Structures are given as C-alpha cells and as structure tokens.
Amino acid sequence: MKKEKKSHFNLWIYVIITVCILSSSIAYSALNATLKITGDVQIINGNNRYVLREQNSEREGGFLGTDIDRKKIKTIYFNQPPVVGPYDVSKDGDGSIMMTCTTRTDGYYSIAITAIDGTSADPSITIDMGTSLYEFFYGCEALEEVHFGWVDFSNVTSMAYMFCGCKNLTVVSTDGYYKTIQVPKLDDTDYMFENCENLTDMSFVEFFQFGVNKLDYCDFMFYNCKKIVSINLSNLTLSSSPDVDGMFLGCEQLKTIYLNKADFTKAYDPSPPILYLGSLSGVTIYVLNEANKKWWEDALVQSHVTGTVIIA
C-alpha cells in the first residue's frame, strides 16, 4: 500500500533530520578521536611521545597515505604551529597525531602535523618519526621548507631517498628546538638529498649524533646538491665496510668538508675515487688521522681535483 504524500513528506523530514544528527555526531567524533587514544604512549625527555605513520611506498601516491597530492606541497611543519587537522597520521590510527592541509594563495599546500592531547594540539608532545623515513618526502617537487619542532629520530634506521628529488627545497630546519639530533640506529642515507639542487644549508644533518660504527650506506647522499658550499659531518661515524660511492658527486660549489671521525680507508669498493669528489675544485677536507689523510690525498690526485687534506 502506498503511503499518503503527507506521510511521505514527513518521512523525508525525519530522514533529513536523522542524517544531520548523525553527520554532526560523526564530525564531532572525528574531531574528538583523540579521546580514544589507545596507542603506545611513551615518555621521552619527560614528555609524551606518539608514533607517526610510515610513508607509503607509492612514490606518486598521496602524502602519508592521504589524498593530499605531494606534488603540490610547499611547506611542512612538525609540531608547529599547534593546529588540529582532519587527517589521522598516527601509526596506530588512534588520533594521537593529526595533520591539516591549508591551500595557499598560490594554489599550493601548507602542511602541519601535530601531536594531540585530548582534543587540543600539544606541540610539547614529541612526535616519534618511527623506524623508516625511506622516500618520506620523495616526489614533493614543489616543497620549499620543512620545519621540525619536537620530533624524535632515535629509532630511525633509514633516511634513504628521504628528500630525493626535492629540487626546490631551500630549508630543512629544527628552528632552534635542537642542538643535536640523536640517530643511534641510522645506517642508511643513500641518495638522501639527491637533486636538492637549491638547498644551501645542511645544518639539519650536521646536528646528527650517529651511532658508533653504524652508518653502512651513504652513497650519493649529497648527489647534485649544487649550491652547498660547506658540509660539516664531524660527528659522522662509519661501519667497518661502508658504501660511500658518489657521496659528494655533483656538489659543484662545495669547498669545505668536515669528516673528523669517519674512517674512509675501509670503504667498500673504494675505486674509482672520482665517484667521491666529482667536479670539486679547491676543496679542503678535514679528516680523522694520517691514514685517512693519505687516502683522501690519493683520491684528490686520481680525481684530478685540487685541494687540501688536514687532520682535524
């Protein structure tokens, strides 16, 4: 039996009201998802620490598994400014780390990733960057700036290809939050800054405190960083057989390299040495000891590069 029009109309009114209520409830639940935090909250430096989701392996996919086009991202802020976004990017999907995406006047995006306490952003809570930052910013070809607030890299084992292809990147900064960055488990930085041809400041990696004899792979780490003038890796320590091929290849303006603690004499397949130096000219290299001084002097000669090697 067909219902009367009036009843049918009333039914639709009921449906519409119900949907509105449910929608509001869902929106409220999404905003307050952090009230249901179930992830493993740890303590670091007296602060809570929440673990960030790992980047997806699809180089052309959305940033951090979302629908955000990574090619349109220009700036990324971690734990600053304190905002609550609609994207849950916590490892456990528990709402402990949220991300917002703001469209700039130029049509590109500004990203903010923030730890959450209850329903409010709390930049004092540390974001644990997880175990792998492999290809984390890969494909962010418009990316110009990355700013790290309170974040923890101590569990990261790989930063391979982390900024690879970020050709417009000019700033990777801790904004004064850190004087050192602990990376005791880091063992792979292959192609980390490949083709970051506009990056002029390497202070981010210069803050690294490496594990003893840990870094195994750093080949082509700074490949084609054309505007870098100085790289201070005085805290760098290498494994017993590191792969360092092409580490500084394409660094056309590089004049000073600090390698105070790194032993290159045991490098895996250390020939031809031109792979290490490329087209450098008039470079000054500070090294660990006499054996490394001789190793680098031989590399300079065989690479037809002018320069000076000094024991630090």
Q: What is the pLDDT of residues 62-93, one digit of tens each?
A: 899 899 999 999 999 998 877 888 999 999 99
- 3-state DSSP call for residue 276? helix
pLDDT attached to residue 18: 40
Beta-ladder partners of 307: 283
Q: Which ranges of the chain have pLDDT less than 50? A: 1-47
Residues in contact with 22: Cβ distance below 8 Å, sequence separation at least 6, in sequence order = none
pLDDT attached to residue 166: 96
Q: How far apart are CA 212 and CA 236, in angstroms?
A: 9
Nearest to 40 by CA among 51, 29, 32, 30: 51
pLDDT attached to residue 59: 67
Domain boundaries, the chain: 1-31
Tell me if the pTM is above 0.85.
Answer: no
pLDDT attached to residue 58: 57
Residue 207 CB burial class (10 angstroms; 0-12, 13-18, ≥19)? middle
pLDDT attached to residue 32: 29
**Amino acid, single-letter form, for residue 156:** V
